Amino acid sequence: MTSTTTRRKSNTFYVILIAGAAALGGFLFGFDTAVINGAVLSLAKAFKISSWLTGLAVSLALLGSAVGAFFAGQIADRYGRVKAMVVASVLFTISAIGSGFAFTIWDFIFWRVLGGIGIGVASVIAPAYIAECSPTHLRGRLGSLQQLAIVVGIFVALLSDYFIATLAGSADSLLFGVPAWRWMFWTAVPPAVFYGMIAFTIPESPRYLVAKGREPEAANVLTKILGGDVLPKIEEIRQTVLRERQPKFSDLLSRSGGLLPIVWIGIGLSVLQQFVGINVIFYYSSVLWRAVGFSEKDSLTITVITGAVNIITTLIAIAFVDKFGRKPLLILGSIGMTLTLGTMASIFGIAPLDAAGNPNLTGSAGTVALIAANLYVFCFGFSWGPVVWVLLGEMFNNKIRAAALSVAAAMQWVANFLISTTFPPILQYFGLGSAYGLYTIAAATSLFFILFFIKETKGIELEDM
């Protein structure tokens, strides 16, 4: 009995290690998308660009991510999950170096798009790999590691921006004779290289190995993950994976020619996760708080605090996702986001404008807005942030998982692109109240979407999806 318990503990420890290694892609994904936060205004000054071009410089990387996500499933099914991670690492590294050396806004955008492709690949591979390597009773918590890694990546990027800007005096100033904003991008190089190195140390997904006829290798991996007799599990995977041919995008189509309903639900989850405006907080928060009267240093400090709130709430989600289930957390999150976004929309909507056209939050309005913003991040952090990635990793059956995840993640990046690109012009022409009003509508929509379309996946084997 004791040896069985010890073996189970060592198996669990092993699974956590390989899931954590795969989730490093999420860390880079969070780091790379948020590192631009502290550099937005400096970029606009350095390259003398308009609000539209600033929005594009921030968000065109996201279209690269959509491309990377779309093709990640095919790369993962043909060459394996681990090789796809290595590709993502190489793209991240080149992008981080190139972005820091950019001479014009156009070559800067090129390097960012290249990194975006890497982010897209990593965003699909990590949840698929973790879902395929996790025992059922741990799958929700391990799937949440992806979002935890993303929010830690965001937090570390915001923290490094803060320290670089503080050392230099501002993101525009020189640090060792080089503009501080360039250093912000170079800080992504060490974790990008580390991700590639760590990818070489983890085993290939047992489901991929069975699909490729490499069953002895799959048995070896499953023994380390599950322990005991793994032959029935191999047979079970073989039945689902090899029931027909290799997965193709045509597998996602129904007999009538449209996408399968489950794929539409995955796309709906992905799009709504972005339409609630979470990334506006992380890409533009320092701009946002400066717009309402905070100094650059205070704005970056608030942004770092928001990042920390995001980490704490993701840890809460990891603790409860396998206890309460996926659906209750999403419902609670939707209600909370609707209330907090509604509060921010009304505060910014009625705030008087200063000479520069920025809202002037007088009296307690600034404090209420700050509390509402962090409560909104709290509500997103324990629900839509991690739980959507858990669901996307497990809601599709084995035959279509990689392809369906690719389509859903690609649409997530397109939605992220739309929100990020439209925010600067909406801020300029309509004001913050209108922007938060739109995100409030999306949050309210997300509640009805969950109630009517989402089924609970807690405790169900991937082979039975």
Kindly indicate the confidence band of residue 355, based on its pLDDT and cuts at 50, 70 and 90.
low
CA 27 to chain centre: 9
Q: What is the pLDDT of residue 446?
A: 95
- Give Cβ neighbours of residue 26 (< 8 Å, ≥ 6 apart): 122, 123, 126, 145, 146, 147, 148, 149, 150, 153
| Domains annotated on the chain, with CATH | 2-202+244-464 (1.20.1250.20)
Give the whole-angstrom CA distance, residue 35 versus residue 162: 10
State in Å, rounded, how far the first CA of the chain is from the last one.
32
Query: Could you tell me if 52 and 427 are in contact, meaning their C-beta atoms sit under 8 angstroms apart?
Result: no
Q: What is the pLDDT of residue 394?
A: 79
Q: What is the pLDDT of residue 80?
A: 86
pTM of the full predicted structure?
0.74
More confident: 206 or 241: 206
- Give Cβ neighbours of residue 225 (< 8 Å, ≥ 6 apart): 11, 14, 15, 133, 134, 135, 206
Q: If you average pLDDT over every residue of the chain, what do you get?
A: 82
Least trusted range by pLDDT, from 61-65, 84-88, 128-132, 247-251: 247-251
The CA-CA-CA angle for residues 35, 122, 303, to 5°, reads 25
Q: What is the pLDDT of residue 122?
A: 86
Mean pLDDT within 325-354:
89
pLDDT digits (tens, 9 = 90+) for 297-315: 777 787 778 878 888 888 8
Query: Could you tell me if 104 and 47 are in contact, meaning their C-beta atoms sit under 8 angstroms apart?
Result: yes
Distances (CA, A) of 421 to 54, 58, 279, 414, 416: 8, 8, 11, 10, 8
Kindly indicate the confidence band of residue 7, based on its pLDDT and cuts at 50, 70 and 90.
low
Highest mean pLDDT among 70-84, 260-274, 353-367: 260-274
Task: Tokens 């002037």: give the residue.
Answer: 360
Kindly indicate the confidence band of residue 114, based on its pLDDT and cuts at 50, 70 and 90.
very high
What is the DSSP code (8-state) at residue 278? H
- Give Cβ neighbours of residue 177 (< 8 Å, ≥ 6 apart): none
Beta bridge partners of 174: 179
* Greatest distance between any 2 Cα atoms in the chain: 74
Q: What is the pLDDT of residue 72?
A: 84
Q: What is the pLDDT of residue 102?
A: 85
Q: What is the pLDDT of residue 461?
A: 55
Kindly indicate the confidence band of residue 6, based on its pLDDT and cuts at 50, 70 and 90.
low
What is the DSSP code (8-state) at residue 398? T
